[in-house]
Amino acid sequence: MRYMTIYKSVEREAPPSQEHIAAMEKFIGEISAAGVLIRTDGLLPSSRGARVRLTDDGKLTVTDGPFTESKEVVGGYAIIDVSSREEAIEWTKRFLEVAGSGESEVREMYEQPAFDVDPTQPSLHNTASRR
């Protein structure tokens, strides 16, 4: 069963300390070695992002970050493959102990991915030109 965990915390503009990075690398090594981790990443501050919203009446709005009206913002995510919801929650608890304050939403994913990358093809990320 695949789960996405979505980490939310108070916005942090400063990068993490070397100690925090080392602790997170250790945790990621453990969850990877257990064969659970599919993918994970952290997100840069919301000042580098935007929110795009579509209202019920069809109006699109774009709001540039930072999102100061939000108490918490999405700070990262992980996709894990575990045997149960309980196991997903246990790994998420361990992550939060390393990450510090915040919360993670644990959501089961559909069994069949909506899009699956062909490992024989070059990554779109690596081949796309940057603007």
Does any domain span residue 124? no
Query: How far is the CA of 77 from the CAs of 14, 92, 108, 114, 118, in angstroms?
Result: 19, 10, 13, 18, 22
The confidence score (pLDDT) of residue 69 equals: 80
pTM of the shown model: 0.81
- Cα separation of 39 and 50, whole Å? 23
Mean of pLDDT values over 67-84: 91
Does any domain span residue 75? yes
Strand 37-42 relative to strand 73-81: parallel, antiparallel, unpaired?
antiparallel
Supply 48's token pair.
Answer: 């580098």
> Which CATH number fits the domain that encloses residue 63?
3.30.70.1060
When divided into structural domains, the chain yields a total of: 1
Does any domain span residue 125? no
Does any domain span residue 126? no
The confidence score (pLDDT) of residue 130 equals: 39
Q: Which residue has the tokens 């998420």?
A: 92
pLDDT digits (tens, 9 = 90+) for 12-29: 878 889 999 999 999 999
Does any domain span residue 74? yes
Cis previous bond, 66, omega within 30: yes
Does any domain span residue 22? yes
Does any domain span residue 127? no
pLDDT at 54 > cutoff 60: yes
pLDDT at 116 > cutoff 90: no
Sign of CA dihedral 108, 111, 113, 119: positive
Quote the domain boundaries for residue 101.
Answer: 2-111
Helix orientation angle between 18-33 and 85-99, rounded to the nearest 10 degrees: 160
Mean of pLDDT values over 56-70: 91
pLDDT at 43 > cutoff 60: yes
